[in-house]
Structures are given as C-alpha cells and as structure tokens.
Amino acid sequence: MTIQEASERYRIPMEILREYESWELCGAVKKVMGAWQYDDTDLERLSLIMTLHDVGFASDEVETYLRLLLDGPGSDARRLAMLEEKRRTALDEIHFREHQLQRLDDLRHAIRKAKTKSGGGKR
C-alpha cells in the first residue's frame, strides 16, 4: 500500500506518515518504483501512533515510545511509565476543569438566588 493509499484508507494525515518514515522505524516499508509500500506491521504501528497522538503524546514522545516498543519486552516498564504520566496529566486536567465548572455553577447559582430575592426573575 502506498503512502497516499494508507493516508486515504486509514485517514492518517500525510504529515504523520512522513514523520513515521523519517524516524526510520518502517521495518518492511520499501520503495517500489519510487513509492513507499506499507505492510500490516507498519499499519499497526501507524494505528498506535494515531492513538498516542490522540491521548496527548507529542511527536518526540511518540518516537521514543515506538523505539522502546521495538526494543522488546525489556522496555515495558519505561513505556508503562510514559503512559502513567500521560494518565496523571489527563486526570489533573479533568480535576482542574471540574473545579472550574463548580465555580461557574456557584456564580450562576448566586445570580439566580439574587434574582429570586429581588423578585425580578423566573425560577
């Protein structure tokens, strides 16, 4: 499958595919008549790349993660640590947003309460 076909079929942006190629991690990707050809292993890696990007990994973190993955099971602890750090960051963001929502709700409640006391609004 060519880079264009992979991009279209799996909806992977071309810049991700080119970045993947630049990391030289494309095990079975070969140039045939000037076009890159992807096999199933490459497509699985590209799926992982998209997932890592979706959960907030920066490109350099994705590359590090993939290099560790290719190192084999001995890198499991380091990859798990990377995932745990992203999870902690996501939870911190969720808690921050929950706090923001609570403060917004408090302000909304105060306005509604003031309107009710003054008799100037609906319930």
pLDDT digits (tens, 9 = 90+) for 38-70: 888 888 888 899 999 999 999 999 999 999 999
pLDDT tens, position by position, 65-98: 999 999 999 999 999 999 999 999 999 999 999 9
> Which residues on adjacent β-strands are paired with residue 37?
30
pLDDT of residue 122: 55
pLDDT tier, 24 (very low <50, low <70, confident <90, very high otherwise): confident
Question: Which has the higher per-residue pLDDT, 34 or 100?
Answer: 100
- For the residues of 73-120, what is the DSSP string, one character each? GGGHHHHHHHHHHHHHHHHHHHHHHHHHHHHHHHHHHHHHHHHHHHT-
Q: Is the dihedral of CA 80, 82, 87, 92 positive or negative?
A: positive
